[in-house]
């Protein structure tokens, strides 16, 4: 049961990530049937000012010793350097050893990794930092397709606002859906979001060392509506199909068919955001033979259906 929550701050504070956790656990909503959490904010040097940028700073009065017995200790986003105060690492290890839980928001996962808490565990962080997390902590199983991950006593969440999803998940787990829904309603956010980080990741055209492959990718991107076969690609490169497929993987990192599908999905995302074209029309323009095929590849790549994606990201909907 999560009754006491300690947020550990150090260095430069990621204000939004801290604010997310404070919004879920730190506000008194007992008038709405939400339990009162024992909410503590602590730092290695109580009383010192912690900068948040733009001339703003926070002053924290609690010491880390006051957070060693909490049910949940939270690490908001911050540095990904891997160099963290030993007192912070010792505190989160102590909480876990005592049967408590750890929640990290965004790059806060790097702190959990430095404490050895991600070894052998599945975890996530912001999609931009996934490769860094995997490189620095090779025993961690990093998955940047998701909004948050529970593995044992460690909950890691993706970039920034995904901390809301993870925090509400922990409330739901400890106090039930009714309490989580009340908090979500007060915050004017959905109590549970489907999909994952894939909705927010751009897929830029890779830089190729071979100019011929670079020109081929540009041609493919400009002709997505055409029926492009492997033989068509190989012919443009003056190669056999087998040699071309091998060289393509060497240059781009994935198969030509998969790359073409990803570009079609990316183009579909852009059209869904910026036009009112029907899903059938979008499918035709990006080279899928049917709306059904578009829906299949779109859901596999992005995690939600084209219509759900449009509702969330369409400029027309945002303007209205």
Fold entry, domain 211-319: Arc Repressor Mutant, subunit A (1.10.10)
Q: Is 208 noted as a catalytic residue in this protein?
A: no
Phi, psi of 60 (to 5 degrees): -110, 130
pLDDT at 227: 92
pLDDT at 118: 97
CATH 1.10.10.60 maps onto the chain at 211-319
Phi, psi of 143 (to 5 degrees): -130, 105
pLDDT at 318: 47
Distance between CA 167 and CA 173 in Å, rounded? 10
Across the range 301-306, mean pLDDT stands at 87
At residue 78, the 3 state secondary structure works out as coil
pLDDT tens digit sequence for 72-98: 999 998 889 888 999 999 999 999 999
CATH 3.40.50.880 maps onto the chain at 4-197
Q: How far is CA 226 from CA 281, 283, 289, in A?
A: 14, 12, 10
Q: How far is the first Cα of the chain from the last one, in angstroms, to the nearest whole number?
A: 42
Catalytic residue among 67, 106, 123, 208: 106
Class of the 4-197 domain? alpha beta
Q: How far is CA 314 from CA 176, 268, 293, in A?
A: 33, 12, 21
pLDDT at 320: 41
Strand-pairing partners, residue 40, are: 6
What six digits make up the tokens of 211?
Answer: 């100019």
- Whole-model pTM: value is 0.67
Radius of gyration of the chain (CA): 23
Distance between CA 132 and CA 138 in Å, rounded? 10
Distance between CA 197 and CA 165 in Å, rounded? 12
Across the range 96-119, mean pLDDT stands at 96
**Nearest by Cα to 2 from 29, 18, 27, 25:** 25
pLDDT tens digit sequence for 123-181: 999 989 999 999 999 999 999 888 899 999 999 999 888 899 899 989 988 998 889 88
pLDDT tens digit sequence for 244-283: 999 998 888 889 998 899 889 988 988 898 889 999 999 9
pLDDT at 7: 97
Vertex 57 angle, CA 55 and 62, to 5°: 175
What six digits make up the tokens of 179?
Answer: 């309490």
pLDDT at 170: 93
Residue 235 confidence class, pLDDT cut points 50, 70, 90: very high
pLDDT tens digit sequence for 188-231: 886 666 666 665 655 555 556 677 888 898 888 889 999 999 99
């Amino acid at each position: 049961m999560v009754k006491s929550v300690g947020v550990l701050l150090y260095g430069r504070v990621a204000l939004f990530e801290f604010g997310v956790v404070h919004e879920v656990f730190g506000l008194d909503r007992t008038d709405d049937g939400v339990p009162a959490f024992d909410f503590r904010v602590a730092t290695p040097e109580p009383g010192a000012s912690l900068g948040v940028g733009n001339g703003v700073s926070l002053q924290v009065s609690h010491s880390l010793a006051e957070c060693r017995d909490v049910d949940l200790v939270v690490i908001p986003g911050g540095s990904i350097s891997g160099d963290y105060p030993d007192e912070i690492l010792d505190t989160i290890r102590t909480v876990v050893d005592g049967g408590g839980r750890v929640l990290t928001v965004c790059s806060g996962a790097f702190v959990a990794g430095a404490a050895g808490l991600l070894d052998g565990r599945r975890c996530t962080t912001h999609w931009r930092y996934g490769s860094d997390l995997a490189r620095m902590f090779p025993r961690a199983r990093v998955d940047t397709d998701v909004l948050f991950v529970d593995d044992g006593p460690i909950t890691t969440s993706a970039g920034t606002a995904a901390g809301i999803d993870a925090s509400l998940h922990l409330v739901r787990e400890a106090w039930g859906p009714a309490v989580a829904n009340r908090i979500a309603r007060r915050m004017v956010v959905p109590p549970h979001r489907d999909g994952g980080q894939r909705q927010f990741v751009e897929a830029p055209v890779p830089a190729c060392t071979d100019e011929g492959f670079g020109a081929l990718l540009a041609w493919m991107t400009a002709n997505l509506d055409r029926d492009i076969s492997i033989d068509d690609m190989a012919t443009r490169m003056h190669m056999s199909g087998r040699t071309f497929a091998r060289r393509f993987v060497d240059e781009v990192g994935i198969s030509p068919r998969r790359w073409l599908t990803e570009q079609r999905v990316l183009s579909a995302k852009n059209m869904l955001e910026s036009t009112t074209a029907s899903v059938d029309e979008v499918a035709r323009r990006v080279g899928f033979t049917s709306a059904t095929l578009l829906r299949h590849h779109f859901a596999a790549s992005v995690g939600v259906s084209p219509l759900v994606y449009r509702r969330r990201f369409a400029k027309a909907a945002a303007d209205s």
